[in-house]
Amino acid sequence: MHSNGEKRVSNNVRKIREAKLMSRSELAKHAGLSVLTVERVEQGKSCRMSTKRKLIKALGMKLSDKGKVFYGE
């Protein structure tokens, strides 16, 4: 836990997004999420399972690739 009590979740969302030459706003639009939500996830803040699912699909990956995107949970 972080000093504010918020759980951190390690992930590769930013790395994968940048490798695909996508902006945060493009990823947010494809995932049906706000840019703020994408930013918070990239910073390692916890999120809902449905948010993870939307991001994985918007990155063009399969749900079975979850471990390549989100790890250390």
Identify whether the C-beta of residue 11 lies closer than 8 Å to the C-beta of residue 29: no
> CA-CA distance, 45 to 8, in Å (whole number)?
5
- First CA to last CA distance, the chain: 12
Domains annotated on the chain, with CATH = 13-62 (1.10.260.40)
Q: 45 — phi, psi (to 5°)?
A: -75, 150
Stretch 36-59: mean pLDDT, rounded? 97
Q: Where does the pLDDT of residue 72 fall: very low under 50, low under 70, confident under 90, or very high at 90 and above?
A: low
Q: Measured between alpha carbons, how far is 13 from 56 in angstroms, rounded to an integer?
A: 8
Predicted confidence (pLDDT) per residue in 2-29, tens digit: 455 667 779 999 999 999 999 999 999 9
- At 60-71, the pLDDT tens digits run 999 999 999 998
**3-state class of 72 per DSSP?**
coil
| pTM of the predicted model as reported, rounded to 2 decimal places | 0.88
